[in-house]
Structure 1
């Protein structure tokens, strides 16, 4: 049963505790609101201002689990706070120990401060959860996919256009790496897991994947230096640094170029085609 008073009070307290710089927003010279404005939180949660405002006023329908997950992410809640939010709204929290999509506030804060750098947060299955604008400019909007195609490894074997952003000389290794990584995660998560389901789908759809899967290769890891081919600025040699959140098993991938190189100059040009913040 939903606790409307408790839910409204919790949402207000979390909104007022957040500062614009905590979520990558400019503060502005005339700001008087304590914490974030309702319209700012609504935008972060991908919902209408009216819907969010009604929740803070103890009105409106009971939020769905999907809506609560979006609110928890938009308000940068910890997993304990997220679970509390679910209970106040009359839902059971997500099962503990299951790899999910809730990004930790710390990882989000780091990403929010990388606005001038290509970066993304991905799951262990290669599903992109968040990207910086330059991350979108580099590889395209990887958050738009649904179903199995959310996984880059799945798209690698089923959507030929995906490979156009990567240097041809790296295609063979990347295919081996994706098959190797999926085999490891499938063994870790077990039969019936999402990893196992992806493997079954790929075995049915891709002859290339079947050949690589049958090699039983494991242990391949991404190269630190990656070679991208951008349709507007051309080829770039970028270094990839990876920060792993051990609690959520998400990775923050940050792409940089060596100063003074042609790739560094092209990365600067990439900002001109980046989507607006």
Structure 2
């Protein structure tokens, strides 16, 4: 049952919190030509995965009854505290997320940290491996997650499902092998179920995959403990650049039950060069550059 809320209150909060958020904290370049200190409407729309027109209607109070998914995306994009997030939900006539369920709230400090590492692909996942935050380099490497329906932005569905998540995922090969990587994701889900037994969406995800994927069901039966994530080397097959060999690290966010996934490469390596190409081109129309000669490397080092 939804709580009472006012569309005008929701619109006013959106405008006020958009004006409050520094573009630099959200990962945007600040120039002297910017007239207002806060985010532009198109920037917030980009961060939340919404159209600018729909965001305009929300801020003007003309669009009513936003879904919980939209309110959650706006709360993350605006870098709200938990109390502010709950206030935004109530102003939209919705009940805030319950305690004891998988949280999709990304603390503002984590978003600011990730935004300052904008040269690296970074994605933030919840305890059930749903992608809830990513930067432009993540989109350049893996494709824009915003084009995939929100429920499908889940790594377990990408690995074991038959929906858009699987079709949208680029070919990723782990040096540990596909079976070990899949097993670690299932082990994480088993651990999440033990900690969030009342979460209906998590229960639905597990039931769905156990019923449709023999591989998931096999791992679910055999995996007995949560995986310890360590550095892994992965090859990502990019449609424009080709194979990119990168180090993948999973960083656990204490107190938030989130996983920050980062991809890096050693300075001067082929992977580093391809990441730089992705940063410059956004992954669109890029071609693999020829290897740098010794003279070129010396020039770049100066």
Which TM class, normalised by the smaller chain length? 0.7 to 0.9
Q: How does 1:164-183 map to 2 (within 5 A)?
A: 164-167=171-174, 170-183=177-190
- In 2: Cα distance, 1:95 partner to 1:191 partner: 10
User: Equivalent residue for 1:250?
Assistant: 258
SS in 2 for 1:120: strand
In 1, are the aligned partners of 2:121 and 2:138 still within 8 Å (CA)? yes
In 1, are the aligned partners of 2:232 and 2:249 still within 8 Å (CA)? yes
User: Equivalent residue for 2:222?
Assistant: 215
User: Equivalent residue for 2:86?
Assistant: 83
- In 2: Cα distance, 1:10 partner to 1:190 partner: 33
Q: Per-residue deviation at 1:122?
A: 0.9
User: Equivalent residue for 1:240?
Assistant: 249
Pick aligned residue for 2:62 from 56, 60, 68 = 60
User: Equivalent residue for 2:211?
Assistant: 204
- In 2: Cα distance, 1:216 partner to 1:77 partner: 37
Pick aligned residue for 1:266 from 274, 296, 300 = 274
SS in 2 for 1:267: helix
In 2, are the aligned partners of 1:148 and 1:198 still within 8 Å (CA)? no
- In 2: Cα distance, 1:149 partner to 1:51 partner: 22
In 2, are the aligned partners of 1:186 and 1:193 still within 8 Å (CA)? no
Q: Per-residue deviation at 1:119?
A: 0.9
In 2, are the aligned partners of 1:134 and 1:274 still within 8 Å (CA)? yes
In 1, are the aligned partners of 2:101 and 2:199 still within 8 Å (CA)? no
TM-score, with length taken from structure 1:
0.81
**Structure 1 residues 259 and 174, CA gap change in structure 2 (3 angstroms):** same
User: Equivalent residue for 1:152?
Assistant: 155
Number of residue-to-residue matches in the alignment? 274
Q: Per-residue deviation at 1:9?
A: 4.5
Q: Which moved more, 1:257-266 or 1:71-80?
A: 257-266
Q: Per-residue deviation at 1:23?
A: 1.6
Q: Per-residue deviation at 1:7?
A: 4.3
**Structure 1 residues 256 and 151, CA gap change in structure 2 (3 angstroms):** same
TM-score, with length taken from structure 2:
0.75
Q: CA RMSD in A?
A: 3.2
User: Equivalent residue for 1:190?
Assistant: 197
